[in-house]
Amino acid sequence: MSLPLPVLAQTESGAAAAFEIVIIVVIFGILFGWVGKAMSTKADKAWLPRLVVWAFLAKLVGAFARYYMVNILYNSGDSFRYHDAGRIFANVWRGGAIPVSTAGGEGTAFTEVVTGFLYAIYTPTFLGGFVIFAILAFIGQLLFYSALRPWSPEDRLKPYATAVLFLPSLVFWPASIGKDALMVLFLAVAAYGASRMLRSYQFSALLPIAPGLYLASEIRPHVAALLGLSLVLALLFGKPPRKFEKHPKRAVMILFSVAGAALALAAVASTFNVSVEGGGDSQDPGAFLEDVEEQTARGGSQIGGAAVTSPAQLPGAIITVLYRPLLYEGGSGQMILSALEGTALLLFTLWKLPVMWRNKKMLREKPYLLMCFFYTGGFIIAFSAFLNLGILARQRVQVLPMFLALLVVLSWEKSKSKDEVERARLERRAPRRPPGKDPAAVTVPPIEPPAEETRAGPRVRPPRSRSRQEPTDSATGQGSGRRPRR
């Protein structure tokens, strides 16, 4: 039995859309206010609930801006076809059947079916669809924060939460009806499960990993395979908790992950018709990358370059995939805003690069960071074949949460205690050794710790020694028992 379409969904009038948005904002605003409190821990309960509410409002602004760009500024985009297909497939879902899409293109048919499933619950207006997909991406951003939290120092949690929730690219691009919002959500689900697996090696961690990677592979299989392979490498080379170093559960988890990564790689080869040997109807990886370069080097944002085939090309690929466009490449208003973000990230990376190099041992000590490292590196190599800055700016949202995890945590410098600061100050003020004298003769006075109070109260001062002799009785010659005057 199919359910009738909601009245508001049948009209695209401005009044209906405005009323619909108010209802959605109120409901989800209250919901995310509760979510911020529910997901907070002792390390972040002082600031996380308020930050989540503000981030949700920022995400709504990103959805409105994305809607203006697609519907008013350009009046074109894939969001139109996904919205139309979703309205049609919603009735199929309500009838108890699974719709079948005949659309071509990587992940397009699956995205139409998923949109229809979401619209079967409630079929929104076009603007309402943007808000719903923006909320899905926002849930993914919260999951990325929850995935990093066990692996980060406490004073790095707030900077990472601020970055992953308020970075303009993550606020704007995955806030429309389409693949980007779904990919952020599915990758975040898999990353959250991977964080649990690397920490506790529980079989329950497979529950979010398996559906997250499967759903992501239906849209962009190469990205899902990259994340699965990064998890395997983190399990193999990361330092496990001491109680799991020789535990058989770790070996079982590695086998499960290797099998999943192998299936994902096979799906990628089948989807793109790529094989190492080539031959027949398939093509070798080199020819496939050349096709990608040719297809993406079109439009007004095309750039020069080539896919990474040697280590010498890696620095240029890092700049292109993670940071460009830069300030000198901003032509339009949209490109200038993207260039400001990319330039700021590049300058921050260069500033913190020495600290990040000193903290490189944290990669093995914190396997989740090692997974982020492998994923970011693989993403740079894979997407170096994309020679269009507009496409890269959108595709980049799939790697930014994990790249930001590396950037924020590895740039952490442990603050010195007061005793360490005082000792360093005394060492600087110590007299220099005169020529010809033994350096051991110049010593730094030790720092005495302050007196501590006991539970019973402050430290009791010992009685003073009496300097005067106790007066004696003139008759008996014995002490009178009276205390001398002072």
What is the total residue count of the chain? Answer: 486
How confident is the model at residue 203, as a pLDDT?
Answer: 81
d(CA 215, CA 339): 32
How confident is the model at residue 153, as a pLDDT?
Answer: 93
Give me the residue spans of the domains in the chain.
8-76+124-410
How confident is the model at residue 112, as a pLDDT?
Answer: 95
- pLDDT by residue (tens digit) across 316-332? 999 999 999 998 887 77
376-381 average pLDDT score: 95
Residues contacting 171, CB < 8 A, separation 6+: 58, 59, 61, 62, 165
What pTM value is reported for the model?
0.80
- pLDDT by residue (tens digit) across 84-104? 999 999 999 999 999 988 887
Residue 80's nearest CA partner among 126, 37, 117 is: 126
Phi, psi of 238 (to 5 degrees): -75, 155
Q: pLDDT band for position 485 (50/70/90)?
A: low
Q: pLDDT band for position 9 (50/70/90)?
A: very low
d(CA 447, CA 445): 7
Q: Tokens 């909320």 label which residue?
A: 135
Out of 12-21, 26-35, 460-469, least confident range: 460-469
Report the mean per-residue pLDDT for the chain: 82
Surface-to-core class of residue 86, CB atoms within 10 Å of its CB (0-12 exposed, 13-18 middle, 19+ buried): buried
In this structure, are residues 238 and 188 in contact, taking their beta carbons and an 8 Å threshold? no
Please tell me which residue, 27 or 13, carries the higher pLDDT value. Answer: 27
Please tell me which residue, 182 or 308, carries the higher pLDDT value. Answer: 182
How confident is the model at residue 11, as a pLDDT?
Answer: 44
What is the percent of the chain where pLDDT is above 70? Answer: 75
Q: Tokens 């999951």 label which residue?
A: 143
